[in-house]
Amino acid sequence: MKQRTSLHWIWLSISVIAIDQLAKYLIVQHIEYNSIFRLLPFLNFTLEYNTGAAYGFLGEFGPLASLFFITTAVVISLLLCVWLYRLPATNRWLGISLALILGGAIGNLIDRIAYGFVIDYVHFHVGGWSFAIFNFADAAITVGALMLIIDIFRGKKSENTTR
């Protein structure tokens, strides 16, 4: 009997992509570039265009960086699909983490291909401190990566307890 894979988590990736693209569409339609829409004392929507990686990293390299990020996102997305395919369905935590990363990567990939940059809009700040502006796809990637790190440490803990 064939073992079920974790590919069924693709629905989560598709949901992340849909929410991400819808949010970006609404932000672009209703907020002017670089303007601030205050939601809470510590949270704004601020429309920014990010030519770099997560949180603006390497954005100063222009079109060359964009080509690099597109290629990297495609390769990582394909590898994540293969990983999900090979991952047993019983490993829910890891399947969810990979699906979140995949959905976020594809959400930002769509922007890079369509516009040459990623649309960012979530801006946390407190007093004089300000966190980099990001989007829903970035948040999904971050949560998925944290889950992946937790999974790695959980695996090491169980390996250590079996010895």
Q: Convert the pLDDT of each residue in 31-54 to its tens digit.
A: 999 888 999 999 999 999 987 665
Residue positions annotated with a catalytic role: 120, 138
pLDDT for the residue 128: 86
How would residue 63 be classed by pLDDT, with cut points 50, 70 and 90?
A: low
User: Who's near 85: CB < 8 A, 6+ residues apart?
Assistant: 5, 6, 7
First vs last C-alpha separation in the chain = 32
As a whole number of angstroms, the distance between CA 111 and CA 135 comes to 11
Domain limits, the chain? 6-22+32-154
DSSP summary character for residue 133: P
Question: What residues form DSSP beta bridges with 123?
Answer: 44
As a whole number of angstroms, the distance between CA 46 and CA 135 comes to 10
120 exposed, middle or buried (CB, 10 Å; 0-12, 13-18, 19+)? buried
pTM of the predicted model, to two decimals?
Answer: 0.86
To the nearest whole number, what is the mean pLDDT of the chain?
A: 88
Average pLDDT over residues 74-97: 95
User: Who's near 46: CB < 8 A, 6+ residues apart?
Assistant: 31, 34, 35, 36, 37, 121, 123, 133
